[in-house]
Amino acid sequence: MTTVDTTRTGIETMPFSKALNAGLRKAMEDDPRVILMGEDIGPLGGVFRITEHLQRDFGPQRVLDTPLAESGIVGTAIGLAMGGFRPVIEIQFDGFVFPAFDQITTQLAKITARHGGRISMPIVIRIPYGGHIGAVEHHQESPETYFAHTPGLRVVSPSTPNDAYWMIQEAIASNDPVIFLEPKSRYWPKGEVDLSAPALPMHASRVVRRGSDVTLVGHGAMVSTLLQAAALAEAEGTSCEVVDLRSLSPVDYGPLLDSVRSTGRMVYAQEAPGFVSLGSEIAATVMERAFYALEAPVLRVSGYDTPFPPAKLESTYLPDPDRILEAVDRSLAY
């Protein structure tokens, strides 16, 4: 493995996973208070090798292998944050975060408000999430709505290697707790990373493809699927604009609303089930704020309201370009 030289500037091409590794390395070099915690993140480098070689280079006091006890990991991180450290926790798989749910939602999210702002909680909780890898139960969940619903937490999800590199550093620098959702199916595709400066702040949404007929919106791995759908739609004469949400709490509605006011139509796509979801909130807000610009109702494409299925049914459960295009056609038919 070639280690990225984080002192360099310019543009380099690397996979999403290596961009995350480089971002963690840079944050640890810049601030000795940054420590990493998680199951098998030391010599192994984590299940997805995101922390590969970091214990070797920074030592076991800064890259800590923990017991298999997610609630204990988060509780320990809370104490470390109170002591002046900036812990970064790796949850091995999305479905494993729920044993720590009480610590995250009733303690971590509330401590700063409980103490009138006198205590900061600079903790990042990294969660590989989502489908597309053919895994078993508890390994392909989309828990973002639980955390976006919880006041006191920041929730973000990068979709490109460049965003992964910069957003993990911005999350670590935040004095608020950040749920950092990593779309695990995007760990391997490569992309350009500008090592000189971030393109956007952590909580900014972004238009990633210009279009004029329909606005397509999503986050994480779904952005790639939306771009595939937009390319297919273009071949059929329909121009789709694609917006990458990037931040799920808070949501940057500016570029999204500007796009909807221009196209008059919107389709939101997500891997998570549709009932009481992030897509529900985005759709309701767009209907409130851009009602008179809409030529059709905001439509949603999502995973089904069932537990995530076995691997052989994954492609049926997850939204694909065809399901998105079907929603585009329905929107244009109004």
Residue pair 128/86 in contact by the 8 Å Cβ criterion: no
Label residue 324 exposed, middle or buried (CB < 10 Å: 0-12, 13-18, 19+).
buried
Quickly list DSSP for 204-247.
--EEEE--SSEEEEE-TTHHHHHHHHHHHHHHTT--EEEEE--E
Give which of 231, 12, 281, 16 is closest to 126, Cα–Cα: 16
**Catalytic amino acids?**
139
What does the block give as tokens for 119? 């205590």
Cα distance between residue 156 and residue 174, in whole Å: 12
Residue pair 305/277 in contact by the 8 Å Cβ criterion: no
Residue that has been written with the tokens 């789709």 in this structure: 240
